[in-house]
Every structure is written in C-alpha cells, then in structure tokens.
C-alpha cells in the first residue's frame, strides 16, 4: 500500500479493543506468536531464547498491539518501521476461538491506520503465504493492499 488513502477500512465491531503494548517485556509477543501461530505453522521463532525475544521486542522500530474482545485477549499484530519509509506488518493473527467471528477486517484496518502514523511512511506492506488463513490474502486485498509479487517455493 503506497498511500494511506488506499485503505478501505472495515468498522470496529462492538466489544473489540486494540491497544499498543507499552510495558517492556517479550512475553506478549512470544506467547501470541506461539498460540496464534500454532494453527498456521509459525515455527522459526519457537526456538528463540528469552534473550533473543527481548532483543527483538525491545527495539524502537517495533510496535506490538494487542486485540481484545470484551476484555479477553484475542490476537495481536506487530508493526516494524524499516528505512527508508517502509512499515511492515510483521505478524498479524487471532487466537483460534476468535477466527471467523468478523474481527479480522477491523483488526487489519486498525493495523494499517497505525502503520501510517509512523513518521515519513511511503509504503505499508505485508507478506502472506499458503500456510496462512485461507481468507488472509482476500482480507489484505479488500483493505486496499495491492499484490506486488508472487513466489512459489521449490524444495
């Protein structure tokens, strides 16, 4: 997405709350990565030590946002500012009990809005793959992302 005006936001459903993590600590990211990612084959960071998690999370260019539904933690997303002027939606997902409940579009809309609030942003981007939720790509495209590249991994 090359312009904030491209966002086709989905309204926030009642009971949905999204807030940035402001307390230092890696446990939120680690636990959501493990719990959200279990269904989608997120495995590369499962071997990280507490030190590696801390080094990753405690960087000025990373923001973590927690999604709650009626006060219960439901998911999260990570935004990373990358020079020169890119913001990547690194991880984005809901816990299994909140999937297919109508929260993903509003959550993604919020993530995109927050990404454009970084200074000097020229592009907001995300990557997905065939391991992600079957509706992930459609959600990204429906919110205003344009597909840039397609790759097929070869073993």
pLDDT classification of 154: cutoffs 50, 70, 90: low
Structure tokens at 92: 């984005």
pLDDT classification of 18: cutoffs 50, 70, 90: very high
Whether the per-residue pLDDT at 25 is higher than 80: the answer is yes
In the chain, domain spans: 4-143
Whether the per-residue pLDDT at 86 is higher than 70: the answer is yes
Q: What is the pLDDT of residues 34-76, one digit of tens each?
A: 999 998 989 999 999 999 999 999 999 999 999 999 999 999 9
Q: What is the pLDDT of residues 99-150, one digit of tens each?
A: 999 999 999 999 999 999 999 999 999 998 888 888 888 999 999 999 988 8
Give the pLDDT confidence score for residue 21 in this predicted structure.
96
Q: Other CB atoms closer than 10 Å to residue 30's CB: what's the count?
A: 19
Give the pLDDT confidence score for residue 155 in this predicted structure.
58
Give the pLDDT confidence score for residue 5 in this predicted structure.
97
Note whether 128 and 89 are within 8 A (CB).
Answer: no
Cβ-proximal residues to 9 (8 Å cutoff; 6+ apart), any chain: 106, 109, 112, 113, 143
Q: Which long-range CB contacts under 8 A does 83-86 form with residues at least 24 apart?
A: 84/122, 85/120, 85/121, 85/122, 85/123, 86/121, 86/122, 86/123, 86/124, 86/125
Q: What is the pLDDT of residues 5-16, one digit of tens each?
A: 999 999 999 999
Which overall architecture, per CATH, does domain 4-143 show? 3-Layer(aba) Sandwich (3.40)
Measured in whole angstroms, how far is the alpha carbon of residue 74 from the centre of its chain?
13
- What's the first-to-final CA gap in the chain, in angstroms? 30
Give the pLDDT confidence score for residue 67 in this predicted structure.
97
Pick the closest to residue 65 from 34, 24, 21 (CA basis).
21
Task: Please work out, in degrees rounded to the nearest 5, the angle formed at the alpha carbon of residue 10 by the alpha carbons of 5 and 16.
Answer: 125
For every residue of 66-108, which 3-state class applies, written as one string?
EEEECCEEEEEEEEEEECCCEEEEEEEEECHHHCCCCCHHHHH
Give the pLDDT confidence score for residue 132 in this predicted structure.
84
Q: Other CB atoms closer than 10 Å to residue 60's CB: what's the count?
A: 6
């Amino acid at each position: 997405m090359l312009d904030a005006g491209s966002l086709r936001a989905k309204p926030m459903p009642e009971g949905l709350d999204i807030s940035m993590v402001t307390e230092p600590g890696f446990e939120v990211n680690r636990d959501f990565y493990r719990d959200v990612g279990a269904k989608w084959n997120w495995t590369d960071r499962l071997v990280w030590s507490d030190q590696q998690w801390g080094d990753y999370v405690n960087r000025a260019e990373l923001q973590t946002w927690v999604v709650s539904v009626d006060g219960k933690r439901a998911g999260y997303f990570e935004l990373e500012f990358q020079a020169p002027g890119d913001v990547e939606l690194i991880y984005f997902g809901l816990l299994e009990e909140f999937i297919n409940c109508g929260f993903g579009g509003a959550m993604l809309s919020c993530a995109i809005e927050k990404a454009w609030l970084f200074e000097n942003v020229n592009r907001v981007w995300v990557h997905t793959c065939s391991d992600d939720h079957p509706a992930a790509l459609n959600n990204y495209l429906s919110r205003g992302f344009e597909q840039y590249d397609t790759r097929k991994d070869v073993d």
